[in-house]
A and B are shown apart, each in its own frame.
Chain A
């Protein structure tokens, strides 16, 4: 019997657009910026499309919030090698800080959000700093415990409103600002991070992931680099938390909830780890899905978890990697 195997070959178009020929014709240019424009344009249009269904406009906000968290997780896990299972820590710290700035110090939202983002990121980095030498399971366990620890401490000491939380936070002055703020930040974060990980710094970070001893041998301070990475990721997470506080007009223990940790992870696994865009796409699938399933209550989490397990076990490359392969390459049967 004649044996055949599938082989994958890069499309000619892809090979051309890697070099200077990328600008040789509109076809090449379209091939390069098409998918990017599709994403940007699509996301920017979402609030306008959902004029017809106002309820879903809120879902768009959640999608973008979770997308930011997912990008942060993806960046930490796949570019720095720190698996942070406690995304809720960032959200909680950012959310509570903005609540404190806004209600206790009565700063307007355009000051409280940036302040909360930066100061929250500093706090998170300081909290995570001592566990940076840990690796793998150990780091995951500590970060998993932090959000739970924080919510228990707030509960036990009865600070910041205790179990009642802080209410009466300002909302955004109008809906378009509310929506485009998070959408634009999400896009900036996405493309910014894509650029960042391909800079020299990104290379060093990936080096730390693969072999931190050799990075240290090159005279680079590993802890310093990891610290910076955590700071960047917590900037994103704290912004998401601060935004959510203003969106709900409330900051409570729910900010430390499991949702903020598990959905971004599920989205990253589903979308494809290490692509950053995959995290966004995963969120755009999972969050609307969870809205549809809202009636089922905790069954949502069951569905997430089952999807997550399924993707981890059977399709660990994720959607985005698959799509990229289809976009850049074609397959054919070849004789052996």
Chain B
């Protein structure tokens, strides 16, 4: 029971972390290596808004998400757009932007344990004899809600359909009058917003530390690679696989190995089946 509950929470946390990355990659084919940096930056922005600007919780969260989306969109418009299509430049470029943001925050004084975000609702309850705090329950509920919302958005909304069109066949979509760059901007905005949302939900569980930025990136990449880069269902399945694997390692081996599991999972997946569980490389498939 304990394993089940913690496993589910951990899996939802992982999928929240990686959803933004998966979304951006599946739509615009940009591996957004600045994802972890966006995560930590939006957490920090929300912290600033609450503690320095003195705004109440909800408006500052919304503003923080908007800021994250804006950063993502600007990043695409002014930097990634120029190097679009050159894979290596994209990787190095986004990675460098992410590094600059994370290390800039570290330099700007984001160190130590002083920075924490408040939980949405504090307190805890018991399910089946396992104590679980409300924040984790909220994470699970929001996680599931986001999946459903994104599913509906990409099926029953003009913009969502355009995003899916571009993801499936860029050329055909462009012929139908869908602007490739515009959809990429939207995808980056949504992806960054999702990173921000994950930050707001997950950061109350611990402190805001810059190292989280790297860890989130690693987890996001791990989940997306295992699920198949660009595949959506794969992302969710993979986050459940890694989530439970991690909880099991933590319980039966040692908590030191949690990160090793994720990293080994990436390496092993890439070696055995590079396209991931659900990815089909070089084939026309539905990616969103």
Mark A residues whose CB is within 8 Å of B: 77, 83, 85, 130-131, 133-134, 136-138, 140-142, 145-146, 148-149, 152-153, 155-156, 258, 262, 265-266, 269, 296-299, 301-302, 304-306, 308-309, 312-314, 316
Q: How far is the CB of B215 from chain A (nearest CB, A)?
A: 10
Q: Assess whether A308 is in contact with B92, with CB atoms less than 8 Å apart.
A: yes
Neighbouring A residues of B100 by C-beta, 8 Å: 301-302, 305-306, 309
Q: Assess whether B79 is in contact with A309, with CB atoms less than 8 Å apart.
A: yes
B257 on the A face (CB < 8 A): yes
Q: Can you name 22 A-B pairs with beta carbons within 8 Å? A: A83-B88, A130-B271, A136-B88, A138-B270, A142-B267, A145-B218, A145-B263, A145-B266, A146-B267, A148-B259, A149-B260, A149-B267, A152-B259, A258-B99, A265-B92, A297-B106, A298-B103, A302-B99, A302-B103, A304-B99, A305-B103, A314-B82
Tell me the bound Cα distance from A136 to B86 in angstroms.
Answer: 10
Neighbouring A residues of B274 by C-beta, 8 Å: 133-134, 138
Neighbouring A residues of B259 by C-beta, 8 Å: 148, 152
Specify which of B91, B96, B225 lies most central, judged by the most chain A CB atoms within 10 Å of its CB: B96
Q: Assess whether B96 is in contact with A309, with CB atoms less than 8 Å apart.
A: yes
Q: Assess whether B229 is in contact with A145, with CB atoms less than 8 Å apart.
A: no
Neighbouring A residues of B125 by C-beta, 8 Å: none
Mark B residues whose CB is within 8 Å of A: 31, 79, 82-83, 87-89, 91-93, 95-97, 99-100, 103-104, 106-107, 218, 221, 225, 229, 254, 256-257, 259-260, 263-264, 266-267, 270-271, 274
Q: Assess whether B91 is in contact with A83, with CB atoms less than 8 Å apart.
A: yes
Q: Assess whether A145 is in contact with B92, with CB atoms less than 8 Å apart.
A: no
Q: Assess whether A77 is in contact with B88, with CB atoms less than 8 Å apart.
A: yes
Tell me the bound Cα distance from A77 to B82 in angstroms.
Answer: 21
Q: Which residue of B31, B92, B229, B270 contacts A269 across the interface (Cβ within 8 Å)?
A: B92
Q: Which 3 A-B pairs have the closest CB atoms?
A: A305-B100, A156-B256, A301-B103
Tell me the bound Cα distance from A54 to B225 in angstroms.
Answer: 48
Q: Which residue of B31, B103, B107, B260 contacts A152 across the interface (Cβ within 8 Å)?
A: B260
Which A residue's beta carbon lies closest to that of B90?
A: A137
Q: Assess whether B104 is in contact with A141, with CB atoms less than 8 Å apart.
A: no
Neighbouring A residues of B89 by C-beta, 8 Å: 312, 316
Q: Assess whether A141 is in contact with B264, with CB atoms less than 8 Å apart.
A: no
Which B residue's beta carbon lies closest to that of A308?
A: B96
From DSSP, what is the main secondary structure of chain A's interface residues? helix
Q: Assess whether B263 is in contact with A137, with CB atoms less than 8 Å apart.
A: no
Which B residue's beta carbon lies closest to that of A313?
A: B82
Neighbouring A residues of B267 by C-beta, 8 Å: 131, 142, 145-146, 149
Tell me the bound Cα distance from A146 to B218 in angstroms.
Answer: 12
Neighbouring B residues of A305 by C-beta, 8 Å: 96-97, 99-100, 103
Specify which of A140, A152, A316 lies most central, judged by the most chain B CB atoms within 10 Å of its CB: A152
Tell me the bound Cα distance from A22 to B195 in angstroms.
Answer: 60
Tell me the bound Cα distance from A85 to B91 in angstroms.
Answer: 10
Q: Assess whether A134 is in contact with B103, with CB atoms less than 8 Å apart.
A: no
Neighbouring A residues of B93 by C-beta, 8 Å: 308-309, 312-313
Q: Assess whether B103 is in contact with A153, with CB atoms less than 8 Å apart.
A: no
Tell me the bound Cα distance from A312 to B97 in angstroms.
Answer: 11
Neighbouring A residues of B229 by C-beta, 8 Å: 137-138
Specify which of A134, A145, A266 lies most central, judged by the most chain B CB atoms within 10 Å of its CB: A145
Instruction: Name 5 extra pairs, CB < 8 A, besides A138-B225, A141-B225, A141-B270.
Output: A131-B270, A142-B267, A153-B260, A301-B99, A302-B104
Which A residue's beta carbon lies closest to that of B222?
A: A145
Q: Assess whether A312 is in contact with B266, with CB atoms less than 8 Å apart.
A: no
Q: Assess whether A152 is in contact with B270, with CB atoms less than 8 Å apart.
A: no
Q: Assess whether B83 is in contact with A313, with CB atoms less than 8 Å apart.
A: yes
Q: Assess whether A155 is in contact with B92, with CB atoms less than 8 Å apart.
A: no
Q: Assess whether A141 is in contact with B256, with CB atoms less than 8 Å apart.
A: no
Which A residue's beta carbon lies closest to that of B264?
A: A149
Specify which of B79, B91, B221, B257 lies most central, judged by the most chain A CB atoms within 10 Å of its CB: B91
Q: A305-B103, A309-B100 are in contact. Are A155 and B218 (CB under 8 A)?
A: no
Q: Assess whether B266 is in contact with A141, with CB atoms less than 8 Å apart.
A: yes
Tell me the bound Cα distance from A92 to B39 in angstroms.
Answer: 29
Tell me the bound Cα distance from A100 to B99 in angstroms.
Answer: 33
Tell me the bound Cα distance from A260 to B224 in angstroms.
Answer: 26
Q: Assess whether B107 is in contact with A302, with CB atoms less than 8 Å apart.
A: yes
Q: Assess whether A312 is in contact with B83, with CB atoms less than 8 Å apart.
A: yes
Tell me the bound Cα distance from A77 to B95 in angstroms.
Answer: 17
Neighbouring A residues of B83 by C-beta, 8 Å: 312-313, 316
Q: Assess whether B87 is in contact with A137, with CB atoms less than 8 Å apart.
A: yes
Tell me the bound Cα distance from A332 to B82 in angstroms.
Answer: 28
Q: Assess whether A140 is in contact with B88, with CB atoms less than 8 Å apart.
A: yes
Q: How far is the CB of B67 from chain A (nearest CB, A)?
A: 19
Tell me the bound Cα distance from A121 to B76 in angstroms.
Answer: 39
Which B residue's beta carbon lies closest to that of A149?
A: B263
Q: Assess whether B221 is in contact with A141, with CB atoms less than 8 Å apart.
A: yes
Q: Assess whether A137 is in contact with B31, with CB atoms less than 8 Å apart.
A: yes
Tell me the bound Cα distance from A298 to B99 in angstroms.
Answer: 10
Neighbouring A residues of B106 by C-beta, 8 Å: 297-298
Neighbouring A residues of B107 by C-beta, 8 Å: 296-299, 302
Neighbouring A residues of B260 by C-beta, 8 Å: 149, 152-153, 156
Specify which of B79, B103, B274 lies most central, judged by the most chain A CB atoms within 10 Å of its CB: B103
Q: How far is the CB of A274 from chain B (nearest CB, A)?
A: 12
